[in-house]
Structures are given as C-alpha cells and as structure tokens.
Amino acid sequence: MWMMKTIAGEHHNAGRAELAMESNLVLRITAKMLMPFILLFGLYVQFHGDFGPGGGFQAGVIFATGIILYGLVFGLDNLRELVPSGLVRIVSASGLLLYIGVGVVSMLKGGSLLDYNLLSHDPVHGQHLGIFLVELGVGMTVAAVMTNMFILFARP
Amino acid sequence: MDDAIINLGLLTMLAITALAVIRVQDLFAVAMLMGIFSLICAGFFVTLDAVDVAFTEAAVGAGISTLLVLSTLAITKREQSSRPRFRPVALLTVVLTGLLLVYATWDIHPYGDMSSPVHQHIGKRYLQESSEHTGIPNVVTSVLASYRGYDTMGELTVIFTAGVGVILLLGRSRKAAVNVDDEDDSRGTS
Amino acid sequence: MSIVSFISGGLLLTGGIVLIIGSIGLVRFPDFFTRLHAASVVDTLGVMLMIAGLIPLAGFSLATLKLFLILVFVLLTSPTAGHALAKAALHGHLKPELDTQEKGQA
C-alpha cells in the first residue's frame, strides 16, 4: 500500500510530494537500516545454495527485493540514479551469457555443452566450479530482470 | 496424524483463498490474496519437505510477483471493469477437468512410497551419487545446475526473454509519455 | 530438559493466546485504525513471543542465531508496516471513527 502512496505522491504537485517524503521518516530510516541486510541475505542465499536451501533464482529475487524497497521508499528517480537502465540491461544479459559461456568453455575443452567435469583438472572440483558460475549467472539475470520490470511497471 | 491435520488446514485455507480471489471485485485485494495464496503454498511445500521450492514460492510468489502486480495496478485501474457472467459450458469444462484430475490421483503412490516409479528410476542414483560426483551436499542444487543444466538454461532464457519483452513493450512508451508530459508542462507554464 | 521445555512451552502458549486475542480484536473492532492497532501491536508481540519460545528448543546452535535475527527483523519491520498502513490510510483521506463525534451529533 505504501508503494501506491509513493507512486501517488509523485503524481501530486511538488509541494505535497515533498511533504510526503519528509513525513516518511520512519519508513526511510527503517528502509535504510534493512536494505544492506536484505542485500547481504541475498548474497548469503546465493553462495550458501550449495549447502542449504537457496540458489540463483531465490537469491536474485531477494536481491531485487532489496533494490525495489529502496525505490518504494525513496522514489523512482532515486532508484533510477542507483541502478541506471543501461547497467540493468547489461547485467541481465551478461548473466545469461555467463551461463551459456560456461557451457561453451566445456565444449571448447572437448566435452559436450555444460559438461562441468572438464572445467578443472579434477572432475569434482570442475563440477563445483561449474555449478558456482552457473548459479551466479542465474542470480545476476533474475535480479536484473526483476528490478528492471519493477522500474518499467512503476513509472510515474 | 499431525501432518494430516496441518495439510488439511492448509488445503482448506488454499481453497478459501482461491474462492475469495474469484469472488472479490477489488483488484488490490485480489493481488494481496494471491500473495497470501502463494504463502500458504509455501507452507504446504515445507510440510512436504521441499524446502527449496517453498523458498522460491515465498520469494517469487508472495514477494516479488505481488509487487509487480501492484505496480501494474498503479498504471491501470483498481476496479474490475465488468463482472464476468455465468457460463455453463465453462463451468462444465472446469468440473470435468477437476474430476479427471481427482480420478488420476487414485493411481498416485502414497507420499514417500519407495516402490513408486519416481524413486525407482534415475532419482535414486542422483540421491546416492550426487555428493561424490559434484562435492555439493544439497542435491537440489546439483540436480538443478548440473544434472538438469539444460533445463535451467532454458528457464533462465525464458526469464531473460520476459525481461526483454517488458523492455520492448514498456521501455519505449515511457520515453514517449515523458515527452508528452514535458510538452504539457511547457504549455501549462507558458 | 524439563525446564527448557517448560520455558519454551510457556512462551509459545502466551504467544498463541496473544495472537488469538489480536485476531478477535481484528474481527470485532469497528474501524480501520482500531483494527490496525490490534493487528500490528499483537502481531509484533505474539510473533516475537513465539520465536522467543522456539529459541530454547533450538539449543545453542546456528539455528538459535538465525531465530534471533528473525526476532530482530520482526521487531523492526512489523511496527513499520503498521505505521506505513496507518499513514497510507490517512493519506487516502480515511478518518478514524471517534466516539466524541457521535456524542456531539446526539
């Protein structure tokens, strides 16, 4: 509901929007306190996915949620300054490229597509490295695509 | 027995939420109800020991998709434009499909039955050998990223394509809308 | 063992009772703001009591730390959510129902 308010606040004239921003002190302080921890939790889910529940999809979504929280509380203009649309597009494409690139590298090393065994001298280590890189690519693309979707949908 | 009570409660809440989604006219409330539906689904997955799926459902279904639906509502209207009228053929189709699905559940093995084909085929090998093949304790991650790497690549391509589609559909119109707004402003001030 | 289960059982029971009282208030109270009061205050206290009751059961492990972090998270976010809802309602020109108004009319 506060998103509605933030977006609605930008529709109104400047004085009222300013007033709304100023009186959102509680929201702004809480968002500032929580945002680093949400991003940290996203990274934890990303890199702890090997050992517990988690992985690229969940981590990307949680990371995007942290960024979107910033946009909800501080307004879309600040969000666009924080994540320029060019950066979001580059990250979303490079995540998929990283995934496919891992597959192509394993092909160049003489195996089939996405055969992680050949990525390192030791097959188990190669599998570990391959899964790590692939999950990283998934996380990058998901986070960037979700953030971009929110920016485009919530335009003023 | 405890599991049965929890599952029954969760499924009842799911059914009530689904009916409420159909009945409620206010689309804002519908978006919130869909979030609640996803959260109950996540709880249901936890009782089935599918923690990874529950995590995804809670993060995607209850978290970000609710946000995206709400931001879509900010662009469009909040009320449903017209109440859908009663259609007997559609009702018949839905009821028949539902009965067919219920009939199909009679052939499903009980939950956790070792003699079911799911556990007899290759899944058993994954569970036993995944750790020494990949060195990763979480089998879900190793199946998702390694054994079923092609599928995950396809899923990621789908997400990327969706992102590209949103950019193509909304990215340009935003610039156009901003230009129109600027013109309006200049007219207003001059 | 019995003391630990006694403490956590007491906390869980208190949390459950508090949550039930809050749910009754959520249904019975007359307008949005009183309902929000019931929901947000009770939600914070009840959930915190529940998690505090789970901490002794987890023993001294990583799960304890995680539960404690969830406790802090709930303590921060739940009141903020209530505050945001109330502000959004005021912003949407929803006036609280006041008893004095009725007396003035009568």
Which pTM value belongs to this model? 0.82
When computed from its CA atoms, the radius of gyration of chain B, rounded to whole angstroms, is: 23
CB contact under 8 A, B56 and A57: yes
What's the mean per-residue pLDDT of chain A?
83
User: Has residue B141 got a pLDDT over 90?
Assistant: no
pLDDT digits (tens, 9 = 90+) for B39-76: 999 999 999 888 889 998 999 888 889 988 888 888 88
Q: Considering chain B, what is the average pLDDT of its residues?
A: 84
Is pLDDT of B122 > 90?
A: no
pLDDT at A23: 65
pLDDT digits (tens, 9 = 90+) for A114-137: 888 888 888 888 888 888 999 999
> Is the predicted ipTM greater than 0.90, yes or no?
no
Query: Is there a contact between B20 and B36 (Cβ–Cβ < 8 Å)?
Result: no
CA A139, CA B156: separation in Å to the nearest integer? 10
For position B41, what pLDDT does the model report?
A: 94
What is the C-alpha to C-alpha distance for residues C71 and C81, in angstroms, rounded to an integer? 15
- In chain A, residues 33-72 whose CB comes closer than 8 Å to chain B: 45, 49-58, 61-62, 64-65, 68
d(CA B106, CA B143): 29
- Find where tokens 């391959």 sit: A130
In the predicted structure, residue B115 carries a pLDDT above the cut 60: yes
Q: Partners for B (CB, 8 Å, 3+ pairs)?
A: A
User: Closest Cα partner for C73 from C83, C62, C65?
Assistant: C65
Q: Of A1, A33, A34, which has the smallest distance from its Cβ to C88's Cβ? A: A1
The H or E element spanning position B29 is helix B27-47
**C83, C88, C91: residue with CB nearest A26:** C83
Provide the β-strand partners of residue B26: B79
Instruction: Indicate if the pLDDT at residue A63 is higher than 50.
Output: yes
Which of helix, strand or coil describes residue C52? helix
CB-closest option in C73, C76, C84 to A2? C84
Pick the closest to residue A70 from A81, A57, A59 (CA basis).
A81
Scored b (16 or more CB within 10 A) or e, A16-42 reads: ebeebbeebeebeebbeebbeebbebb
- Contact list in A for residue B157 (CB cut-off 8 A) is 96
Q: pLDDT at residue A4 above 60?
A: no
Would you give the end-to-end CA distance of chain C in angstroms? 61
Q: CA-CA distance, A59 to A48, in Å (whole number)?
A: 10
Mean pLDDT on A44-57: 87
